[in-house]
């Protein structure tokens, strides 16, 4: 009888222990720190996806590194990313979801002006900190005090995006007198061409062609034909990836020749477009954010690219990673440094700190000025030269894209005139 009681007592005690352990599990989980949630809408499908996904890969590298070191303020970081499908109309709804449903701690923009600007009214309404990425003049109309840009255009972004182009053009001998401007009818190209008109006026150039085209355009031959008919000395182009390729192919097919062609042709910094177009890029003058020329290899950037490139193939992203990824990573470095320095997630305090300090990043030191733009422009102007085959290995060589401006980083001289497809 006593043995039976003992066995029953033991069983009861075991059940009690199991129940206690079971009840304790949620408490143990609850004791784990909640992640700091960082959210954005990014292009994972559509025309901007090749670039957008490379930015996501860069942010994932940052998040993994931060979490391996214990997170931010002792909490892990978690990225929440929704596909905006490269469609500006999708953006506002995604940011309402991020802010009201997911209740994220920090808000980031997706890549490109067209994707960043539509989120601004939502962010402003919620009074949240907002860090954009490669978005030109995002805050020009809003003047919102909690917006900060990760783009090297500087305090006057619209004219800055073409100033180097005109500086180079006016060094030609004899100086050019006529100009053609063409760009997509979308937020970024409109901003870029607005700046180009201002710079053209300052340079005393006569604009003989000034046209735009719908972003849905598929045939660029009529556009190039119209450009060619005006016989301009120089041609400034502001385009997105699909139209960049279309314009350069049409220029080659029609044998376009001018003293200088270039501008803000988005997409040419990606490996996919470089290898697709190959020798068709020769002679094009391009405004870049950064290139891995020896003089521009800021501390940490090549180490970051080594990590990025090692996983690029498996993740299906741009294998070179010299366009968006360093800046996507740098944006996270700014946020990280500001959070650590303030010791808080209070976005007003963080915004005040960002405005008042300089940040060490893989794209160099970043200091912010008016409207959350960089205090100084650091755009790089390059020219594609001597491309033979368009192989990926060829584009790993710095001499295929020489730096023209700024002069202190120069690695080559401008070749003129521009003859479409000329090796």
Q: What is the 3-state secondary structure (H, E, C) of 151-189?
A: CCCCCCHHHHHHHHHHHHHCCCCCCCCEEEEEEECCHHH
pLDDT for res 17: 35
Its CATH architecture, for the domain 157-288+385-419, is 3-Layer(aba) Sandwich (3.40)
Q: What does the pLDDT average to over 255-269?
A: 96
- Of 304, 302, 333, the C-alpha closest to 396 is 302
Q: Quote the CA–CA distance of 390 and 400 in Å, as a whole number.
A: 10
Q: What does the pLDDT average to over 169-184?
A: 97
Whole-structure pTM over 0.85, yes or no? yes
Least confident of 14-23, 90-99, 391-400: 14-23
pLDDT for res 247: 97
Q: What does the pLDDT average to over 165-173?
A: 98
CB atoms within 10 A of CB 298: 16
Q: Quote the CA–CA distance of 289 and 387 in Å, as a whole number.
A: 21
Q: Quote the CA–CA distance of 3 and 262 in Å, as a whole number.
A: 93
Cis peptide leading into residue 72 (ω within 30°): no
Q: What is the CATH number of domain 36-152+299-372?
A: 3.40.50.2300
Q: With 0-12 CB in 10 A as exposed, 13-18 as middle and 19+ as buried, what is 403?
A: buried
Contacts of 292 (CB under 8 A, 6+ apart): 301, 302, 305, 322, 398
Q: Quote the CA–CA distance of 322 and 22 in Å, as a whole number.
A: 51
Q: Quote the CA–CA distance of 200 and 227 in Å, as a whole number.
A: 17
Q: Quote the CA–CA distance of 269 and 144 in Å, as a whole number.
A: 30
Positive or negative torsion for Cα 87, 89, 92, 97: negative
Q: What ranges do the domains of the chain cover?
A: 36-152+299-372, 157-288+385-419
- Of 219, 234, 243, the C-alpha closest to 283 is 234
> Which spans in 79-173 are helix H?
91-96, 113-116, 120-126, 157-169
Q: What does the block give as tokens for 300?
A: 């940490």
CA distances from 404 to 22, 398, 419 (A): 67, 12, 19
- Give me the percent of the chain exceeding a pLDDT of 90: 89
- Per residue in 282-307, pLDDT tens? 999 999 999 998 889 999 999 999 99
pLDDT for res 390: 86
Contacts of 152 (CB under 8 A, 6+ apart): 289, 290, 363, 374, 377, 378, 379, 380
Same fold, 36-152+299-372 and 157-288+385-419: yes
pLDDT for res 31: 64
């Amino acid at each position: 009888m006593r043995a039976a009681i003992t066995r029953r007592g033991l069983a009861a005690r075991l059940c009690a222990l199991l129940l206690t352990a079971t009840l304790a599990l949620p408490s143990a989980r609850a004791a784990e720190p909640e992640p700091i949630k960082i959210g954005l809408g990014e292009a994972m499908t559509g025309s901007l996806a090749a670039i957008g996904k490379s930015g996501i890969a860069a942010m994932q590298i940052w998040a993994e590194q931060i979490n391996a070191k214990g997170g931010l303020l002792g909490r892990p970081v978690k990225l929440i990313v929704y596909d905006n499908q490269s469609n500006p109309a999708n953006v506002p709804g995604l940011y309402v979801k991020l802010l009201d449903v997911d209740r994220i701690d920090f808000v980031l923009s997706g890549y490109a002006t067209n994707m960043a600007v539509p989120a601004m009214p939502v962010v402003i309404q919620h009074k949240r900190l907002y860090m954009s990425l490669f978005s030109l003049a995002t805050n020009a109309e809003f003047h919102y005090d909690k917006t900060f840009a990760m783009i090297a255009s500087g305090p006057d972004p619209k004219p800055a995006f073409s100033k180097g182009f005109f500086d180079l053009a006016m060094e030609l001998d004899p100086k050019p007198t006529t100009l053609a401007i063409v760009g997509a009818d979308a937020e970024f190209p409109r901003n870029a061409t607005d700046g180009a008109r201002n710079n053209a006026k300052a340079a005393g150039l006569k604009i003989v062609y000034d046209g735009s085209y719908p972003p849905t355009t598929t045939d660029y031959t009529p556009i190039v034909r119209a450009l060619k008919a005006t016989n301009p000395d120089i041609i400034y182009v502001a385009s997105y990836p699909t139209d960049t390729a279309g314009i350069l192919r049409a220029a080659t097919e029609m044998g376009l020749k001018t003293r200088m062609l270039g501008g803000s042709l988005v997409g040419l910094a990606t490996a996919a477009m470089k290898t697709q177009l190959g020798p068709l890029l020769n002679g094009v003058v391009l405004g870049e954010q950064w290139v891995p020329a020896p003089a521009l290899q800021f501390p940490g950037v090549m180490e970051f690219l080594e990590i990025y490139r090692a996983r690029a193939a498996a993740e299906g992203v741009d294998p070179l990673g010299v366009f968006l990824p360093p800046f996507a990573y740098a944006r996270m470095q700014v946020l990280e440094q500001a959070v650590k320095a303030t010791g808080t997630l209070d976005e007003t305090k963080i915004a005040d700190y960002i405005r008042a300090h300089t940040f060490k990043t893989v794209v160099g030191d970043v200091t912010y000025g008016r409207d959350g733009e960089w205090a100084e422009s650091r755009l790089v102007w390059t020219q594609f030269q001597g491309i033979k085959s368009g192989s990926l290995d060829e584009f790993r060589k710095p001499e295929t894209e020489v730096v023209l401006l700024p002069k202190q980083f120069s690695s080559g001289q401008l070749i003129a005139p521009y003859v479409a497809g000329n090796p």
